[in-house]
Structure 1
Amino acid sequence: MYSAATAGAVASPVKPLLLTTELARDDEDVRLSQRLRHRVFAEEMGARLDCPDAGMDVDRFDPHCHHLLVRNAETGEVLGSTRILLQREVRKTGGFYSETEFDLGRILTCTKSFMEIGRTCVHPDYRSGAVIGMLWAGIAGFMNANQVDYLMGCASIPLDLGADHVHAIMAELRNKHYAPVTRRAFPKVALPEMQNGHQGRIDMPALLRAYLRVGVEVCGEPHWDRDFNVADVFVLLDRRRINERYLRHFVKGAPGAADTDRAAA
């Protein structure tokens, strides 16, 4: 079992905000993450969640995942979270979540080990970068502790600015961050084809921007997730390519700063 205990501070003219990163220790910790997910995905983004528990985002993958939390060290409030599904747990879920959106035949045929992150979200008042950076420091520590070769997952591009904006973002991703054809994933529901008519600045989503800084590759065209009103791109990260300098900006000594005294077998 991996135990994360990473700390960092956010500069402030009034008082530094102390942050900690840790794995959920019990069901209540998981529920705190699920409440934050509901706030971000349902209340803020308008996602249609198929969950009977009011104010919660819960699905069939949650019981089989490790839930990584970033907290305000003083109040304990959860400011960011992601869930991690290890490859050995996939037999219990029937596949990775990403496989519900993408054909991963070219990805999963290799003999390397994988883990998937998902449902990553950050409290709307704390999206300047520090919380995202702390999440990534914890993720990198988890990868190292478990000797996972590749991280994968879906990164979302909101459709509230229109499909043209998504296509403009994709044009930039194809130019700078695309994986080779041998590492392509194929969407099960593609965005409608259209000529990119977006004018003006491209607003790259904060989470996707952080993913790119860490070193992920974008593995093809996006999947259209109607329930969440987003275009999801499949991303892949080789553990050897993690941008440690970016992580150390938030956590001293990252990614090894996390307490990795109990690595998984």
Structure 2
Amino acid sequence: MALDPVNRASEPARQFPAGNPLLSRFSPLMLITGGAMRRFGNIPGEAAPLSGTLGRAGSLEVRLARGPREIWRAQRLRYRVFYQEMSAKPDVVSRMFRRDADRFDGACDHLLVIDHAARGRFGGIKPKVVGTYRLMRQSAATRLGGFYTQGEFDLGPMIARHPDQRFLELGRSCVLKPYRTKKTVELLWHGIWAYLRHHRIDAMFGCASFDGTDPDALALPLSFLHHHARSEGDWSAAARPERYVGMDRLPAGMVDAKLALKQMPPLIKGYLRLGARFGTGAVIDRQFGTTDVLVILPVAAIDRRYVEYYGDEGQRYAA
């Protein structure tokens, strides 16, 4: 099961001020942190940082990135998948450093799957980051001025309706092509489940992407999500008005559910199985050549089969 990006960079290329050399402004540290340095130390009322191995399966380990060097490796993987394999168009900075980075990276935790049996260029064992997810808690978003997803979707009313709940944004998910297997995907979700439990998260959200920028070509799967998996009531949210693209391309009676599911990206099908619902309206991301939809998944709505599969305390892939 392949992973597609949930939430990727869509910010315009940065402008270079006169007299400021490119390499001095866009240093490796700036690329790693996106210019937003994390303040070390616990935030009052929050759990201590989650450290150590979160799970293992054979030579694969899932855990959070430990410092700037490993965030750098996650950004390099994202560049390889989003820009080299998929149709994203890098700006001059991303192309120069071969990294996918933005200002949110330094405020997020980065979940990694590492293959400890991977071979380096000269044949020796060299552990490799083969999968990643970016996790942004509500407290970090508040300090930074908002979630990344709020550039595409209006989340304010939904969050305001749940003042006592803790939100987590999922983004920047990708897996190296040879590792797009059930085991890798399950390890990533095992890590996310451990993270949810540790930080007492109540709800998750993020962007999921269809390849292509013509919504009419995606009429069947978009219409299926609109008619059969739309989030309503207290959990409703919509695309920002200036970016809104209608998802109800077809009447409900014309939607062939079986065929629509066949046309869904694997990640969106995975979210549906978990119990996710989707926001109203899509957004076209021309830089990445995608049509984005909003995934909304309260933890209480996760299908009990998956909770039992991973274990209430995440025992399935325990190290």
For residues 194 and 150 of structure 2, the distance between their equivalents in structure 1, rounded to whole angstroms, comes to 25
Q: CA deviation at 1:128?
A: 3.1
Q: Which residue of 2 aligns with 1:191?
A: 245
**What CA deviation, in whole Å up to 9, does each residue of 1:152-175 have, x standing for no partner?**
111111117x53342211222234
For residues 92 and 274 of structure 2, the distance between their equivalents in structure 1, rounded to whole angstroms, comes to 32
For residue 125 of structure 1, give the secondary structure of its aligned residue in structure 2: helix
CA contact (8 A) 2:111 2:134 kept: yes
Q: Say whether 1:227 aligns with 2:287.
A: yes
Q: Which residue of 1 aligns with 2:155?
A: 104
Say if 1:150 and 1:20 are closer, same or farther in 2 by CA, change over 3 A.
Answer: same
CA contact (8 A) 1:4 1:141 kept: no
Matches within 5 A, 1:110-259: 110-111=162-163, 112-159=165-212, 162-188=214-240, 189-191=243-245, 195-196=249-250, 202-243=262-303, 245-246=305-306, 253=311, 256-257=314-315
For residue 280 of structure 2, give the secondary structure of its aligned residue in structure 1: coil
User: Structure 1 or 2: larger strand share?
Assistant: 1
CA contact (8 A) 1:138 1:255 kept: no
Q: CA deviation at 1:34?
A: 0.3
**What CA deviation, in whole Å up to 9, does each residue of 1:48-71 have, x standing for no partner?**
234624210010000000000012
For residues 247 and 297 of structure 2, the distance between their equivalents in structure 1, rounded to whole angstroms, comes to 28
Say if 1:52 and 1:203 are closer, same or farther in 2 by CA, change over 3 A.
Answer: same
TM score, norm. by length of structure 1: 0.83
Q: CA deviation at 1:89?
A: 1.0
CA contact (8 A) 1:3 1:259 kept: no
Say if 1:193 and 1:82 are closer, same or farther in 2 by CA, change over 3 A.
Answer: closer
**What CA deviation, in whole Å up to 9, does each residue of 1:10-51 have, x standing for no partner?**
xxxxxxx53211000111111111011111111122212346
**What CA deviation, in whole Å up to 9, does each residue of 1:118-141 have, x standing for no partner?**
111111222233222211111111
Larger deviation: 177-186 or 147-156? 177-186
CA contact (8 A) 2:247 2:280 kept: no
For residue 220 of structure 2, give the secondary structure of its aligned residue in structure 1: helix
How many residue pairs get matched? Answer: 250
What fraction of aligned residue pairs are identical, expressed as a percent? 32
For residue 52 of structure 1, give the secondary structure of its aligned residue in structure 2: helix
For residues 18 and 193 of structure 1, the distance between their equivalents in structure 2, rounded to whole angstroms, comes to 42
Q: Which residue of 2 aligns with 1:263?
A: none
**What CA deviation, in whole Å up to 9, does each residue of 1:171-221 have, x standing for no partner?**
222343221143222213133789559996642111212222222221222
Matches within 5 A, 1:8-19: 8-9=56-57, 18-19=59-60
> What amino acid maps onto 1:242 in structure 2?
I
For residues 194 and 244 of structure 1, the distance between their equivalents in structure 2, rounded to whole angstroms, comes to 30
CA contact (8 A) 1:141 1:258 kept: no
Q: CA RMSD in A?
A: 2.8
TM score, norm. by length of structure 2: 0.70
For residues 182 and 56 of structure 1, the distance between their equivalents in structure 2, rounded to whole angstroms, comes to 38
The structure with the largest alpha-carbon Rg is 2
CA contact (8 A) 2:56 2:317 kept: no
For residues 167 and 92 of structure 2, the distance between their equivalents in structure 1, rounded to whole angstroms, comes to 28
User: Which stretches of structure 1, 4 residues or more, deviate above 6 A after TM superposition?
Assistant: 197-201
Identify the structure with bigger relative contact order (alpha carbons < 8 Å, sequence gap 6+): 1
For residues 287 and 231 of structure 2, the distance between their equivalents in structure 1, rounded to whole angstroms, comes to 27
Unaligned residue ranges in structure 2 (runs of 5+): 1-48, 119-126
Unaligned residue ranges in structure 1 (runs of 5+): 10-16, 261-265
User: Structure 1 or 2: larger helix share?
Assistant: 2
